[in-house]
Homo-oligomer: A and B are copies of this chain.
Amino acid sequence: MNIIDRARKARDAGRLILSRSAESRTAALKAVRQALYNHSGEIFAANRIDLDRSASEGLAAPMMKRLMFDETKLVRVCEGIEALEQSDDPMGRILEKRKLDKGLILSRIAGPIGVIGMIFESRPDALVQIATLCLRSGNTVILKGGSEALETNRILTRIIADASTGLELPDGGQPKGWIQLAETREDVREMLSLDHLIDLLIPRGSNNFVARIMRDSSIPVLGHADGICHVYLDAAADPGKAVPIVLDSKMQYVAVCNAAETLLVHSDAAKSLLPLILDSLNSAGCELRGCERTRSIIDVKAASAEDWDTEYLDAILSIRIVDNLDEAIEHIHKHGSGHTEAIVTEDKQAAEAFLARVDAADVFHNCSTRFADGFVFGLGAEVGISTGKIHARGPVGVEGLLSYRWQLRGSGQVIADYNEGRKTFIHKKL
């Protein structure tokens, strides 16, 4: 089946979901979880084929690790599904309610967005996570995983589709076709143009990959390309906090988007702080690159202009000395990607000015940039991190997969009566 037909099927299934109950979705989630356990042998066998093929093609070790779908990963995704089973079903939740007039009641109710196009790299456990998140929230989904994981993705999709659409489930199960697998790059290219069928794209992958999708599609995109995050050590930074926060922000996990890439240091504190930073980060195996003023205090490589715009995703940190908060914020606005920015200071006023004025999804005071995460924020399963300002910003949980509709319940009202002064609106919040 071509991708347009798949997208149409997903859209049509989505409309049927509007008439399915919360119990039906909960039971489908449970059935999916059980089916994954029941068919674990087949899943591991399919994954073996993907692993063997990828090994023979020389896939790098970290990618092999991401590709592997073993007992541990099965248990973890099933725990995630169990949490979704126990979570509130968001569909139909009343977000606000207003009496417009006697017998004319307006409600804004939560509902699914519709068809989600999810494009991700080789991690097959991500397929299960996103599919079950879509199931819980009443969305339908077109999944495009990495080609390395093709066999694993195929069997996972088939198991989820079969288990969730079982006729013995409440309401006869989920509508067939709600989950679709796309397999080729050509499919992805076509998906980007289906703005009448796909409501939201969620790409996960390399910066270039995400940036290209954002640029090439008129479908709204939830995600982020670059994650160039800064830590700013203010004049009043406590060294006892500054050093561990910089170490954690940079080195706790260098390959993630919420790791810091550049350290900004107030000139009044540079002489006392930089030697401590050098000591701590060097011991951890981090390369430092500094501006000229930094290099007059500690012996590090010179940073080039390019460094300020680079997401290293590696054990490298660029350092720049600034003369005040304004200069720090200016640097962040010029070179940051609007992801996560942190200030370390004991000066309450400076902290609040930073939190108010820095235009980024996440603005932190006296803690590591690594806290920018949906699980950490308590949002439940994470859909992604958005650097856009529309719909959802920063770490996004299931709320990011929700839209709403307006329901108006009347008793025969016409607008002419209000426009011509025979009746007036009440507008009372209920």
Given A248-B414, A415-B370, CB of A363 within 8 Å of CB of B214:
no
B residues in contact with A377, CB < 8 Å: 98, 100, 106, 406
Question: How near does chain B come to A338, taking the closest CB pair, in angstroms?
Answer: 10
Main secondary structure of the interface of A (DSSP, over half): mixed
Query: Is B390's CB under 8 angstroms from A199's CB?
Result: yes
Question: How near does chain B come to A192, taking the closest CB pair, in angstroms?
Answer: 10
Q: Is A208 an interface residue (CB 8 A)?
A: no
A-B contact pairs, 28 of them (CB 8 A): A15-B333, A15-B359, A18-B356, A18-B357, A18-B359, A92-B356, A104-B367, A106-B377, A199-B389, A199-B390, A200-B389, A214-B218, A218-B218, A241-B411, A245-B414, A248-B414, A252-B414, A355-B407, A362-B408, A364-B409, A365-B409, A366-B411, A367-B408, A367-B410, A367-B411, A376-B425, A389-B403, A394-B406
Find the B residue at minimum CB distance from A192: B218
B residues in contact with A199, CB < 8 Å: 388-390
Find the B residue at minimum CB distance from A244: B414
Q: Is A371 an interface residue (CB 8 A)?
A: yes
Question: How near does chain B come to A280, taking the closest CB pair, in angstroms?
Answer: 12
Identify the 7 closest CB pairs spanning chains A and B, nearest first: A367-B410, A248-B414, A241-B412, A370-B415, A378-B427, A389-B403, A391-B391
Which A residues are within 8 Å of any B CB, using their own CB? 14-15, 18-19, 92, 98, 100, 104, 106, 113-114, 195, 199-200, 214-218, 220, 238, 240-241, 244-245, 247-248, 252, 333, 351, 353, 355-368, 370-372, 376-378, 388-391, 393-395, 403-416, 418-419, 425, 427
B residues in contact with A15, CB < 8 Å: 333, 357, 359
Query: Is B366's CB under 8 angstroms from A416's CB?
Result: no
